[in-house]
Amino acid sequence: MSSKPHSHAQWSSRLAFTLAAVGSSVGLGNIWKFPYMTGESGGGAFVLVYLICILLIGLPILMSEWLLGRLGQKNPISTMSHISARLKRSPAWVLIGVAGVLGAYLILSFYSVIGGWALAFIADAASGSFETLTSDTAGSLFGGLLGDPTTLLAWHSAFMLMVILVVAGGVAGGLERAAKILMPLLAVMLIVLVGYAATTDGFADAAAWLLTPDFSKLDKDGVLAAMGHAFFTLSLGMGIMMAYGSYLSDDVNIGRTALIVVVLDTVIALLAGLAIFPVVFSNGLDAAAGPGLIFQTLPLAFGHMPGGEVFGVVFFVLLVFAAWTSGISLLEPIVEWLEEKTPMSRVGSAWVAGIATWLLGIATILSFNLWSDVAPLGMFAKFEGMTIFDLLDYATSKLMLPLTGLATIVFVGWFMGRDEVRSQLNMSDSAFSLWSFVARYIAPIGVVVVFASSL
């Protein structure tokens, strides 16, 4: 591939960067995954372990990715190549960038399909489909969607088009504009839903359940799930934060901004829990319903509550916005790499990357219906019965992301000069010593534990 001269874009302000970073972090993981994982793991104890892990694992890795991105001022692959060469380290460190960009591509291919589910449920909520649901038929609405490849393809295509159009607009016209519009709207919708939930009979019980730790209900798997989710909710190991860091000016305090992002990401996840669980408790539904909590349990509740049609639409619009902001960030590292390493323009790079991702997403769609009995690695006992979607999810979340995150924190903590890292983080001596200890020992051990448990 031929390179071309590239004038690297910059965020217009710290606020724009913060909103974009929060938008990347706040996604289906907060609105969909965090509530059902909390439900499966007993509530408040899971939340407490998650908060500890996000501070000791997520925060130092997030700061490291931004630091590398700002130093490199290029796409994640070129950034790691440039920095490792300047420091006279092994060229193999470039694999951090390669794995990040590849991981973003693989994840977006199936993330877009799930974003399409949320789009489909907006239409279902608006049409009044929820009102006819019973406890016996609640799963049929979602099951019918998964079994229809044509409908899934239409919604997958619509979601992917939404992502491409934003990313094609560039940093200021695309990423910033979307973050400045979508994030405040997302916050307003979430607050409205929490306000509604506060009027239900189950709000006090749900709040106590969500915020009061009961460690008798938290087992080893729950602890490991909390560690893993703390890592993945911040979009770490996907090249995203390194790409976003490459647009970062020198006057932004990485540590302070990272703390703001972590706090806002966590607050939104907790608000999502306060919006969802009172509805679940008030309707006598199962808080531990697992992944079907959003797409099977809640439609049943919305269909039988006063104003449920309106609040059902608001909820799934919220879910789409959360998925959209994360989808935008997942496409960005791929587009940044194409734009810098090929003669293509920003718009051309966005369309090529988007179409390539859309094509791979078709395999995920078919794995729910026509290819549901196809297990590509079924000859191995561990992967027996795993569909293409299952394998993509396993390969990224259980293997690629933790390894990429581990390599990132090890590179910054052990292979970069302390003076350069300290100047980039702009910390006092005592604060930097604490950060360095966590980054060199605590965070890597935490990631190794998560990785080992997944195997």
How many Cβ atoms sit within 10 Å of the Cβ of residue 169? 18
For residue 411, the one-letter residue type is: F
CA distance 322 to 22: 10
- Are the C-beta atoms of residues 331 and 108 closer than 8 Å to each other? yes
Q: Determine the average pLDDT of the residues in 78-84.
A: 97
What per-residue confidence (pLDDT) applies to 454? 66
Which range, 98-107, 120-129, 298-307, 418-427, is most confident? 98-107
131 and 306 in contact (C-beta within 8 Å)? Answer: no
What pLDDT sits at residue 379?
83
Where is pLDDT greater, at 352 or 34? 352
Tokens of 108: 């977006």
> Within 10 Å of residue 146's Cβ, how many Cβ atoms?
17
| CA-based nearest residue to 155, from 168, 167, 146 | 146
Distance CA 194, CA 182 (A): 18
- With beta carbons less than 8 A apart as the criterion, state whether 178 and 19 touch: no
Helix, strand or coil, per DSSP, at residue 108: helix
1 pLDDT band (50/70/90 cuts)?
Answer: very low
Per residue in 155-190, pLDDT (tens digit) is 999 999 999 999 999 988 889 999 999 999 988 989
Contact call for residues 282 and 261 (beta carbons, < 8 A): no
Mean of pLDDT values over 201-224 = 84
**Chain centre distance of CA 98:** 19
For 18-77, write each residue's pLDDT tens digit.
Answer: 999 998 888 888 887 888 788 878 788 888 988 998 999 999 999 999 999 999 999 999
Indicate the pLDDT class of residue 281, thresholds 50, 70 and 90. confident
Q: For residue 455, is pLDDT > 80?
A: no
pLDDT tier at 4 (50, 70, 90 boundaries)?
A: very low
Residue with tokens 């581990």: 406
Closest by CA to 443, choosing from 406, 411, 416, is 406
Give residue-wise pLDDT tens across range 91-101: 999 999 999 99
Which pLDDT tens digit goes with each residue over 365-374? 999 999 999 8
- Main-chain phi, psi angles of 55, to 5 degrees: -80, -40
What pLDDT, in 10s, does the model give residues 241-271?
A: 999 999 998 888 999 999 999 999 999 989 9
Average pLDDT of the chain to the nearest whole number: 89
Reading the block at residue 239, the tokens are 């090249």
Q: Is the pLDDT score of 5 beyond 50?
A: no
- Pairwise CA distance, residues 446 & 371, whole Å: 37
* pLDDT at residue number 7: 55
Cβ(313)–Cβ(122) below 8 Å: yes
Higher pLDDT, 227 or 78: 78
Contact 29, 20 (CB under 8 A): no
Instruction: Fill in the amino acid letter for 440.
Output: R
Q: What pLDDT does 2 receive?
A: 43
The pair of three-digit structure tokens given for residue 35, joined into one six-digit string: 């509530």
* Mean pLDDT along residues 80-100: 96
Q: Is 42 left (phi over 0), alpha (psi -120 to 50) or beta?
A: left
Mean pLDDT of 343-348: 96
Size of the chain, expressed as the number of residues it contains? 455
Q: What is the pLDDT of residue 402?
A: 86
> Mapping DSSP to helix (H, G, I), strand (E, B) and coil, where does residue 148 land?
coil
Q: Is the pLDDT of residue 282 over 80?
A: yes
Q: What is the DSSP string of 230-284?
A: HHHTTTTTSSHHHHHHTT--TTS-HHHHHHHHHHHHHHHHHHHHHHHHHHHHHTT
